[in-house]
Each structure stands twice: as C-alpha cells, then as structure tokens.
Amino acid sequence: MSRRDQIRMSEAELAAFLDEQRTLILATNGRDGWPHLMPLWFTVRDGEPWAWTYARSQKVRNLERDARVTWQVEAGESYEQLRGAMGKARVVLHRDLETVSAFGVELFERYTGARPLPEPVLAMLRAQAPKRVALQLVAVEPPVTWDHAKLGGTY
C-alpha cells in the first residue's frame, strides 16, 4: 500500500474531521491571476461545504468572474498530527434572502452550540442576511485527505 493510501481518510473520517473543525480556507482566483485566500466559518450540508460572506466582498467579485475554487481545512501542530482535506469545487452563489437567512441560522447554531438561537442573535442575523450570500462548494472531484497519525510514527 502506498503512503498516500495509508494516510487517506475514509468518508466517515472526513465527515467527522470537518465536523470538528472551525475554519475553512477558501482560495478564489483574483482578477490579476493570483490566488485570493480567505478564512471562513463553514458547515457541511449533504457532503458539501457551505459558507457565507458579504455580497460585496472581494471573494464574491472573484467568484462572479470565475466560480472555480480550492478549499482546505487542516489541523495539527506537528507532522505526526497533521490531518486535513483539500478540494476543488465550483461555487454556487445563493442570494435568495430566505436561503441566506436560513443558512446564517444554521451557521450560528453550529458555532454557538445554541438551539434555538437567542432572539438578539436572530435579530442580528436578520439584519445581516440582506448584505450576505451563501456559498455552496460543489465538488468537481473528490477531496484529497490526509491523516498522518495513520503512519504510526513512521515517516
């Protein structure tokens, strides 16, 4: 078995890993051809990462020109602890207020752990939603994954 095969995560391992993590790094393609990297809060819906951002942000301008992105989520402080996933996707921009609002609630429930969210948080989300878009990252190929702990200390 190749080392690549040894460290690959199963679908269940990937799902559990993404559920544990808090920040997804999204790379969009800038107008000048250089990658534009940004950290985002995210959730996973039906196996696809979703995030939200301001509709007038640079990353949205980039996505309006070119929907191709690369995303990465990684954890670990030393080589033997490194775990992560990287995927290529096309982003679907959701601008519908109902979709964006519902996603904002889902996102904040995940990050606060509160269900239902307190009314002041819901009010803040209702005020934010018209300024935001939801980003659905639709995979163009399966993500690449790694879990160096599977090497058992041998490198």
Encoded tokens for 69: 């992105």
Provide the token pair at 136.
């659905």
Q: Which residues contact 71 (CB under 8 A, 6 or more apart)?
A: 24, 25, 26, 27, 49, 86, 87, 89, 137
Backbone angles phi, psi at 101, to 5 degrees: -65, -50
Do 86 and 128 meet the contact criterion of CB atoms below 8 Å apart?
no
Instruction: Find the domain containing 29 and state its range.
Output: 3-151
pLDDT, position 4: 85
Ranges of residues in the chain with a pLDDT under 70 are 155
C-alpha span between 86 and 67 (Å, rounded) = 17
**pLDDT at residue number 79:** 92
CA distances from 49 to 1, 6, 14, 16, 115 (A): 30, 25, 12, 13, 21
Q: How many helices (H) and strands (E) does the chain have?
A: 5, 8
What per-residue confidence (pLDDT) applies to 155? 67
CATH at 71? 2.30.110.10
Bridge-based pairing of strands 48-54 and 24-29 is unpaired
pLDDT of residue 154: 74
Give me the pLDDT at residue 131, please: 98
Quick one: what percent of the chain has pLDDT higher than 70?
99
Say what the pLDDT of residue 2 is. 87
Split into its structural domains, the chain has a count of 1
For the whole model, what pTM was predicted? 0.94
99: exposed, middle or buried (Cβ count in 10 Å: 0-12, 13-18, 19+): middle
